[in-house]
Structure 1
Amino acid sequence: MRVFHSPLHARHDGGVELHRGQLVPCFEMPARADYIARALRDVGHAFVEAAEHDDSRLARVHDAAFVDFLRTAHARWREEGRDGSMLPSGFPARSLRRDRVPAGINGAMGYYAFDAGTPIVGGTWTAARASAHCALSAAEDVLSGSTAAYALCRPPGHHAARSAYGGYCFLNNAAIAAQRLRDGGVERVAVLDVDYHHGNGTQDIFWTRGDVLTVSIHGTPETEYPWFLGFDDETGEGDGAGGNLNLPLPRGTDWTAYTAALETALAAIRRFQAGALVVSLGVDTFEGDPISAFRLGADRFPQIGARIAALGLPTVLVQEGGYAVAEIGLNVAGVLGAFTEAR
């Protein structure tokens, strides 16, 4: 399986985030991608640097004004005499207006962000754009006839909505890949999100569309981030009615309960009769992850890879979360190795 990557991912190094009321070093760090790359090279995966793509591909799933905000945010921040990490200090919550984007950078940041845990720094746009290019390159590899391709995306993407960023995510790499598959002629695409946290951004982007099925297995939003989406009664609207499946699970979920949810997800994808699959591959379901609470051992990730491969679909695997940095490479390699062997 080809691994599409970019060294530009390291340009985004957020520094600190607000986590449960405290400023702490970012859990989403450049070392995550480095550990994954090392583990995949050790087992012989072929590495390909992502190609350059036109930004019009980003606007296929994101609002153009939002993309422009991300492109210019840190420069505007510096124009006010500041540097370092940008974190918002206010949000358009209930009773506040949401129909106007403030002209100043502080207000604009709060308008487009939905948390204070996703800092923007000088290299964020470069890294986020390169991450999207990894997903686009992997999608084009599959369109060209490859059975599967893996995008080593960093920063991750599944929390980024049509016009909002958060959860360490700026551009929705999985949605960008799914749209590229559609634009390349695949009539029906399924997105399977196995990250510990709900793929709220992907759900938002495809909420009213019937051509892309979105399925997410995740920690229940009753107690887990992002809290305000991911419940099982969210099924889509309009042409997308019935096209969104959420499978929330409680803290402490073990392999028995997880695999039951995975089989439900796979059955839904089979019924949808997708022509291709995008996997939002988060490995923060690992029992040692510092910001998650499932109990999956490292030996379970190959089983996840094999079960997904059994769908028999052309597949783009897009890297999302996983914050047990020392183990992240082992767990990703486990998924990809078993997927490849099963094919």
Structure 2
Amino acid sequence: MKVFHSPSSILHAPTTYLRRGKAIPHLEQPGRYNVLLNAAQSGGHDVCVAGTHGIAPILRVHSERYLTFLEQAWKRRAEIEPGLEHVLPSHFARPQMSHYPTGIIGQVGFHMADLSTPIHEHTYAAVQASVDVAMSAASFAIDNGFAYGLCRPPGHHASTESAGGFCFVNNTAVAAAHLKLALGCKVGIIDIDVHHGNGTQSIFFDRDDVVTVSIHADPSAFMPYYAGYSDEIGTGTGKGYNLNLPLVHGSGDPVYLQAIDDALEFCANRGVEALVVALGLDASEMDPNGALAVTTEGFRGAGRKLGSTRWPTVLIQEGGYLSAILGENLKAILDGFESARAA
């Protein structure tokens, strides 16, 4: 498998975040990148550094003012308070609040959905690098069938104008938009992260040219809480092109793998000809999130199922946090995918 990565991914290095009123060690650590990269290398995959793709791919799925905010937030931190170690919101915009503020305090609250996604000095550089990884992997898959992008920070909770859930720019959506533009076909997204891909859903919710499916733990008492339910099917021309498959907490391999079968069938029935897999490994039985119980062999089976089509496919890294088997889970899903394509 061709694997793309960027050493700049480790530049974003949050230390803590507020969870349920307490500051705890941040789960989205640079060490994730090192573990996953080492796993790809030891698994015998063809690992290379991503190329540079600029901001145009980002602007296909995010607004210009949002990208400007991400680029300027750290530089303007003194307008909030001198000496800040990170940028986080103190106020949040709600749906009935319709004006866009010029002050950075208001913009932070407008563009940031929670307290888990701090902006630091080098965050924007890491975000750009993550997009470059997604674009390099997608470009390779177009001509060569498939590739894996070791994206960090992750992206599937980022919507058109909002960061959240450790995510700033939606790498999965960027890859899908690139496949759509380059191939001119209907593109499918299958998100297998333990959390619902709420940002991805919102970006494509009213479109029928990108089919979105998310397999995740039941969100009724689990992040993102307000989206990821089975009655969310799309709107306008996108009605019937979004599928959510929330799973009972504690679900293991059989339920997870059946959901992947259902996701692939949903995409095939809607004319998908290219695929983006939002590859979260946090459905693992040993992940710190602890919501699902997928084994390493379950991930191998997931890889085989996702590789069973002949669609150009790009796998984009989303969640999956530090545990003793994180690297083995990545090896398993990549090996499963490759074995299906070789059959």
- Regarding TM over 0.5, the answer is yes
What residue number does 2:58 align with? Answer: 58
For 2:237 and 2:299, locate their aligned partners in 1 and report how far apart those are by CA, in whole Å. 34
CA distances 1:97-137 after superposition (whole Å, capped 9, x unpaired): 1x222222222111111111111101110001110110011
Output the aligned Cα RMSD: 1.2
Q: How far apart are residue 267 of structure 1 and its match?
A: 0.9
Cα 1:325–1:71 shift into 2, 3 Å: farther
Q: Secondary structure at the match of 1:242?
A: coil
Cα 1:8–1:325 shift into 2, 3 Å: farther
User: Which aligned segments of 4 or more residues in structure 1 are displaced greater than 6 angstroms?
Assistant: none
The one-letter amino acid of 1:262's match is I
Any gaps of 5 or more consecutive residues in structure 2? none
Aligned-pair identity in percent equals 41
For 1:4 and 1:273, locate their aligned partners in 2 and report how far apart those are by CA, in whole Å. 28
Instruction: Give the counterpart of 1:172 among 166, 170, 173.
Output: 170
Q: Secondary structure at the match of 2:39?
A: helix
Any gaps of 5 or more consecutive residues in structure 1? none
For 2:9 and 2:206, locate their aligned partners in 1 and report how far apart those are by CA, in whole Å. 32
Please show how residues 141-290 of structure 1 align to structure 2 within 5 Å. Answer: 141-143=140-142, 145-290=143-288
CA distances 1:295-341 after superposition (whole Å, capped 9, x unpaired): 11122111100011112211000000011343221111110111011
For 1:291 and 1:88, locate their aligned partners in 2 and report how far apart those are by CA, in whole Å. 24
What residue number does 1:138 align with? Answer: 137
For 1:129 and 1:40, locate their aligned partners in 2 and report how far apart those are by CA, in whole Å. 22
For 1:318 and 1:51, locate their aligned partners in 2 and report how far apart those are by CA, in whole Å. 16
Does the 8 Å CA contact 1:128/1:170 hold for their aligned counterparts? yes
For 1:44 and 1:256, locate their aligned partners in 2 and report how far apart those are by CA, in whole Å. 29
What residue number does 1:118 align with? Answer: 117
For 2:184 and 2:274, locate their aligned partners in 1 and report how far apart those are by CA, in whole Å. 7
The one-letter amino acid of 1:60's match is R
Bigger mean CA offset, 73-82 vs 7-16: 73-82
Q: How far apart are residue 248 of structure 1 and its match?
A: 0.6
Q: Secondary structure at the match of 2:286?
A: coil
Between the two proteins, the alignment pairs up a number of residues equal to: 340
For 2:323 and 2:91, locate their aligned partners in 1 and report how far apart those are by CA, in whole Å. 31
What residue number does 1:82 align with? Answer: 83
For 1:126 and 1:292, locate their aligned partners in 2 and report how far apart those are by CA, in whole Å. 31
Q: How far apart are residue 223 of structure 1 and its match?
A: 1.1
TM-score computed with the length of structure 1 as normaliser: 0.96
Does the 8 Å CA contact 1:196/1:292 hold for their aligned counterparts? no
Cα 1:237–1:293 shift into 2, 3 Å: same
What residue number does 1:336 align with? Answer: 334
The one-letter amino acid of 1:181's match is L
Does the 8 Å CA contact 1:186/1:276 hold for their aligned counterparts? no
